[in-house]
Amino acid sequence: MSSLLFHPALPILIGAFLILKLSGTARSIVLLGAPLVSFAFIWMTADGVILAIPYMEWTLEPFKADKLSRLFATVFAIMAFAGNLYALKQEKVLELFAANVYIAFSLGVVFAGDLITVFVFWEMMALASSTVIFSAGTATARAAGMRYMMVHLLGGVVLMAGIAGEVSATGSIAFTSMLPDTLPRALILAGFLLNTGAPPFSAWVPDSYPEASYSGMVFLSAFTTKTAVYVLARGFPGAEILIFIGLSMIFYGIIYGLCENNARKMLGYSIVNQVGFMVTAIGIGSALAINGAVAHAFAHIIYKALLIMATGSVFYVTGKRKFTEYGGLFRTMPLTAICCIIGGLSISAFPFTSGFVAKAMTSEAAYVGQYYWVWYLLAAGTAGVFLDVGIKLQYFVFFGKDSGLRPPEPPLHMRTATVFFAVLCVGIGLVPQQFYQLLPYSLDYEPNTPDHIVTQFQILLFSGAAFFLFLKYYGWHLVESLTLDLDWLYRVWGRKLAVTFTENSGSARDSIIDDLSKGASATIDGIHHRHGPDGILARTMPTGRMVFWAIVMLAIYLLVDFAFM
């Protein structure tokens, strides 16, 4: 049991509780120190099962390590450090508490050796991350957090059903690699996929994350989807269906991102898009592809957090979220602009950035694995990302039409965190071999070859040219619009839908929505009618009614018993 004391989640978990009580410098020390201690623990941890606990008829392995878990844990700890630094002055203690608990549970998932432990931490993560969203404190955040929590707990239900079936079929709770060839395994896969933002449940990412506070979204972007990538990489490498799911996520993210006017929401779509690359790679399943997926996850956490920090800083100083309200901010926020551009280049896999050295492996794996069509689509996806985050985001926020806003740079701790990640992005891109040593499979691979670099430049240049040509000849009219997504299917019962559909919605769509809302409220009213305080099944009953039911039951039993004899 004492080995549990060195579980990397523990320092951050304890830290989370400490910051509830502390303030000022002491709080800062805990916020920054806990991830460092955790980092040290991660690298002190030896491979193999470190703790096993007998539970019912099995053995739980709540603490088990190998290269894959250590890699994810490492980037989680780095992220925890930078995230806490960025959020150092966050006044909402609840958010910091929930975020650190959330990080600790994510570390719990990556060090879990059995399905039950995975499930427990998985659910706890869902609760903690919902709290991060809730703690933004606005009404929209509360509603979004509720939708987020419901989607995730539903996913947890599917996952648990799968685990129950799997354990019942195999008698083992070990979390090992499998293929979705039985119903239980398919359910486990579905439960995992929900957290990646796979269709048809992609919408929870852009729906909920932007509603978190400026710092809350930084935390959220890193852990839920990436633990999902981790469990997929461990549980379902080579499940071909993931290729299709991953590719659809890539293009879902690009297309919706291009239409989006809310900068933070666009980054939400971009998360789905990027995780799509990883899911595709896991679907390919070769050693190179898995390396690509986890390297991409590692790099992605850093550059996506960087982008969200930079746009979060803009949000923090201006209070605005929309592209149409931004423009020309590089004048007073040059440092943020440069960092954001570095993030944009990284996510677009610009040579000599972290994105390039990670994504190159996935493309190569698709090529070597003779998935040529996948290779083409990945290349197209890369071009799309560049268009989205590499250019559109930078252009409309920092350049483009001058909005007249002259906000200052954000506070020092926020700048430091942003610069730290910008440096990491470039650093990993420049010394890829040191980075590759962390990966689960040792392979001899060199990304920075002339051939790769030239190909990549071609892709990026042409998509860049497309953007500016388009801008010049047609203009880019970003409007306040609502892109219809599958989430309206489940958001309908929130009844707030009609309010959200204000502009750009034709009367036809209105009436559909109207009907759906009515249907949903009728359902809820129906349930309330029967089960509410005055419902037929719940109200304080006259005794006669109860006796009536007793007689009915007796009649039923007598009838069926005699009928069947």
**Nearer to another protein (CB atom), residue 506 or residue 533:** 533
Region of residue 404 (phi > 0: left; psi between -120 and 50: alpha; otherwise: beta): left
Output 469 or 527, the one with its CB closest to another protein: 527
With H, G, I as helix, E, B as strand and everything else as coil, classify residue 387: helix
CB of 535 vs another protein, minimal distance in Å:
7
Output 470 or 557, the one with its CB closest to another protein: 557
Contact 244, 86 (CB under 8 A): no
Could you give the CA distance from residue 522 to residue 528 in angstroms, rounded to a whole number?
10
Cα dist from 5 to 39, 48, 486, whole Å: 14, 16, 44
d(CA 111, CA 70): 8
Smaller CB distance to another protein: residue 59 or 332? 59
Q: For another protein, which is the closer residue by CB, 454 or 541? A: 541
Least distance to another protein, CB of residue 536, Å: 10
- Beta-carbon contacts of 298 under 8 Å, excluding residues fewer than 6 positions away, are 71, 72, 74, 75, 354, 358, 435, 438
* Residues 402-427 as b or e (16 or more Cβ within 10 Å = b): ebebebebbeebbbebbbbbbebbee
Nearer to another protein, 100 or 313 (CB): 100
In the complex, what is the shortest distance from the CB of residue 389 to another protein, in angstroms, rounded to a whole number? 34
State the nearest-atom distance from the C-beta of 167 to another protein, in Å: 8
304 contacts 348 by C-beta, under 8 angstroms: no
- List contacts with another protein (CB under 8 A): 53, 55-56, 116, 119-120, 123, 134, 150, 153-154, 157-158, 160-161, 164-165, 167-168, 183, 527-528, 530-533, 535, 537-538, 540-541, 543, 545-547, 549-550, 552-554, 556-558, 560-562, 564-565
Instruction: Rank residues 370 and 543 by Cβ distance to another protein and give the closer one.
Output: 543
**Nearest distance from C-beta of residue 559 to another protein, angstroms:** 9
Comparison of 55 and 441: residue with beta carbon closer to another protein: 55
Pick the closest to residue 209 from 267, 296, 257 (CA basis). 267
Concatenated DSSP letters for 507-534? HHHHHHHHHHHHHHHHHHHHHHHHHSTT
User: What's the DSSP call for residue 322?
Assistant: B
Q: At closest approach, how far in Å is the CB of 348 from another protein?
A: 40
Q: Amino acid identity, residue 152? A: H
- Residue 452 C-beta: closest distance to another protein, Å: 46
Beta-bridged to residue 55, according to DSSP, are 58
Q: How far is the CB of 361 from another protein (least distance, A)?
A: 36
